[in-house]
Every structure is written in C-alpha cells, then in structure tokens.
Amino acid sequence: MPHFLDSRATDFEARLEALLTAKREDAPEVDETVARIIADVRARGDDAVLELTERFDHLPLTPDTMAFSDDEIDAAIAGVPEDERTALELAASRISAYHERQLPADARWTEDTGASLGWRWTAVSAAGLYVPGGLASYPSSVLMNAIPARVAGVRRLVVTAPTPRGEINPLVLLAARLSGVDTVYRIGGAQAIAALAYGTQTIAPVDKITGPGNAFVAAAKRRVFGRVGIDMIAGPSEILVIADAMADPDWIAVDLLSQAEHDESAQSILLTDSADLARAVAEAVEARLATLPRREIAGASWRDYGAVITVRSLDEAAEISDRFAPEHLELCVEDPEALLPKITHAGAIFLGQWTPEAIGDYVGGPNHVLPTARSARFSSGLSVMDFLKRTTIAAMTPEALSAIGPAAETLATSEGLGAHGLSVRLRLDKLNR
C-alpha cells in the first residue's frame, strides 16, 4: 500500500517532510570504477573501449565496426512496421515544430553614448547523445535529445547506443535517421561517455553530452562535466497529479502507474481535495496493477514511494506540489487554467483530464527530458537552449569611451588591478591630446 496522508492530521508535516527527503536513488558506489574506466579510455582510446564493450556487452567489435554503417541502418529500419514508422514520423515532426519556436533572437543596439552592445547565439559544434541499449531502449529519447540539437544548429551529432550481444532496436536507428544524427556507435556505459568527452582514435570528442543512463553513466557524466557540458544528472521518474472530485479515478490511477512502471524507485503522488476520489483512485490502482505486464516493478514503486495526500483545498495542493517540484505535474481539475498560475516549480505541466503525461513522452511536442529529485526548483527540461551559447558583444566609439571609461578606471583602481585601469587610461589620454 502507498503512503496515505491528510493535511489536517497533526503528524502531516513530519510525514510530508519524510516523503520529500526520502532517498529513492539506490545506485551502488560506482564512482571509483567509473574513474578507472575514464582513465583507461583516456590512456588507451579505442583499445579500452573495445575491451570494455566485449566485457560488459559481450560484443566483440573492431574500430571499423564500432559504428553502424549506412547499409546496416537501412537494413534494420526496412523492417519497421508501417504504423510504428508513421507514429515516429509524427512524433519527430511535432517535436521539431515545438523546438523551432524556442530559437532565441540575436540583438544589437546603440546607446546615447555611442556604445554598441548586444549578444548573439551560436550552437555548440558537436553533441553526443547517450541512449540506453538493448531491446528496451527508447526511440522517443533519441528524438527528444537529437531534434533540439539539430534545430539549434549543431553541426555534428553522434549517438552511442550499446547493443548487448548484438541486440538492435530498429526504431532507435530510425529515430536517429529522422533526427539527422550523423553516426551511431554501438557502445555504451561509462566508456562511451569517456570516449565522447575525450575522444579516441575513432571517435572524435564532442562539446555536449545529453541523454539518460544507469548509475555508471550518471557517474561518468558527473566526472567529465567541465571538460564537456552535460544536460543533467537524472534520477528516478516522478509524477504528481492534482485532482478534484470531477476526475475519473481510473484515468488517474493509470496515469500514476505510467511512471511507476518505469522503475521500482519511481514516485507517483496524488493530491486531492476529495476524500472519496482518494479512496477510489487507490482502489483503481490496485485493480489496474494486476493487469500490467510490468506489475512487479510498478507495484514495488507504488508500495514504497507512492502517496495519496488529501488536502483542504486546491490552493493547498498547489503549495504542496511546489515543495515536491515534480518532474511531471498533471492538473486534472475542472479549471486547470485557474490553478496553473499558482504553480511555480514543475518540469512539465499537463492541463486537464484529456492531457495524460504519456502524450508528453511521445507526441505532445515539448521535451520529455526533465529535471527530477526536486531540481525543477532551479532547472528546466532539455531544450534548444541547451545546445546554444550566448556571446556578448560590445563596441566603444571614442565618445563612448570618454563617457564611461573614467568609471571603469576608478573601479579598477579600487580593486588594485593596475593594468586594468591603465588599459583604459592610455586610451583616454590619447583622446585628450
């Protein structure tokens, strides 16, 4: 059974705090292992990557077979059923259209002093996308990571997608083709992250690494950050649903389970001002669990980390939701637009009972790579902006330097930085001759 809380109870705050601070990441201590793998790849390049791939993925490769050839990709995607191809193409077009609207504008203006200021946006030159491997890999994640990079203008985009024992998901390769990926390498783990960050004889280094992975991949991304950019360190998936009495309890139950089935450490939470709905949803979850192929995973998640919280009002629900800062937030209430302004912290928000979170995972358009573990308090989901850099621009005329230069010299002197002040003073003296 999940945790049942009521905001009217005297022990509510203590129990809520326990939920907020519960550690759901059950990763082993892998940092030392990852450090050794990264050092090995840096020292031996391809040889280390190939040895580790054979050891962990039971797949012997050579430098020439590390990447899929165009013919191999063509052969794999030829067998994709037409309905799956059509669905993936629809998803790609919608994700592209949404992210194209995120492109920011350059700006330049001239002040009264004559100084010209502004900024411009340019894409990183190369990005690497990590895709978890095997038959359980997710083509939707390829689209969500690769399409924003291409829209941003990234010139070289590569994917690392491990294929343990040679298992290939043709949809992953089709998604890479639809997204404009240049190369797909059949390697994974911390060794793939190291290869993307530092390069090998075969794999050129990239500037940014994005995409989900296991504890070893997450630890490797932490270690290479600074050498390259990364998107985020994602934890187990989360969904929080705010619902009122009008909501369909069976719909809410399945929405909660849609995240619980991802991982035993995932978290699904219902906030409602209706005690009757709270009971009905809990009963519906139990009934639906028995029908799910991944019922053991979903059941463990719901039992250990699930919660049904009854509140006094929807306003209170919004306040509590902000404390969770959930990855996914559904507002299954009669007037979701009225509740929306009261929400500050969430990775993605889904408005109304006809907008299940699962739509956002595939074809909605917004990105499904989102902040977890309450990090939506200070970060955002993946976007075009993750693949862009803003460069500031400034140009002084002699008149502009005369107007603002003396202040710069004064501040430099106050900080004890003589060369700073002198670099301005020399130009001012030139103007005053």
Q: Which of the residues are catalytic? A: 327-328
Cβ neighbors of 137 (< 8 A, separation 6 or more) are: 131, 161, 169, 172
DSSP label at residue 376: G
Residues 108 and 393: beta-carbon distance below 8 Å:
yes
Strand 107-110 and strand 116-123: the pairing is: antiparallel
* Cα three-residue angle 85-88-89, rounded to 5 degrees: 85
Instruction: Take residue 91 and report the two structure tokens written for it.
Output: 């998803």
Cβ neighbors of 58 (< 8 A, separation 6 or more) are: 164, 165
* Rounded CA separation 310/330 (Å): 16
* Rounded CA separation 167/159 (Å): 16
Tokens 């950019």 -> residue: 229
Element (H, E) at 193: helix 189-198
* Rounded CA separation 223/209 (Å): 12
* Rounded CA separation 203/158 (Å): 9
Residue 130 bridge partners (DSSP): 160
Residues 210 and 130: beta-carbon distance below 8 Å:
yes
Of 365, 326, 317, 368, the closest CA to residue 345 belongs to 326
Residues 149 and 129: beta-carbon distance below 8 Å:
yes
